[in-house]
Amino acid sequence: EAGVAQSPRYKIIEKRQSVAFWCNPISGHATLYWYQQILGQGPKLLIQFQNNGVVDDSQLPKDRFSAERLKGVDSTLKIQPAKLEDSAVYLCASSLYDYRAYEQYFGPGTRLTVT
């Protein structure tokens, strides 16, 4: 079974520039998550999709971050404009269903450095 795919793996941009990350979940997984993991901290949920609908985006900084999941499969996360504090690893995860007993499967992450 193929895992969660993410690209790019690394990205360096200057502050005020924009950047986009892509995620392809495990085939058949209805639920997709984006997390931000700052160095030395645990992952923080940014947004959760159930198919192509948003379930939770309470911790997404909506003035600069946006995400979409067209056709309920692939997803993109965008930051515009980026700030220095956005430097982090952005993790995408998927699970079979949006049910609390199901574990999530994570991609390798995209390491973003904002200079």
Partner 1 sequence: AQSVAQPEDQVNVAEGNPLTVKCTYSVSGNPYLFWYVQYPNRGLQFLLKYITGDNLVKGSYGFEAEFNKSQTSFHLKKPSALVSDSALYFCAVRGDNFNKFYFGSGTKLNVKP
Residues that bind partner 1 (CB under 8 A): 4, 33, 40-45, 48, 55-56, 91, 93, 98-101, 103-109
> Shortest distance, CB of residue 16 to partner 1, whole angstroms?
28
Nearer to partner 1, 23 or 79 (CB): 23
Nearer to partner 1, 17 or 87 (CB): 87
| Residue tagged 């991609």 (tokens) | 107
Cis peptide preceding 43, ω within 30 of 0: no
> Shortest distance, CB of residue 91 to partner 1, whole angstroms?
6
Nearer to partner 1, 47 or 79 (CB): 47
Interior/surface letters 28-64, b for 16+ CB within 10 angstroms, e for the rest: ebbbbbbbbbeeeeebebbbbbeeeeeeebeebeeee
> Shortest distance, CB of residue 55 to partner 1, whole angstroms?
7
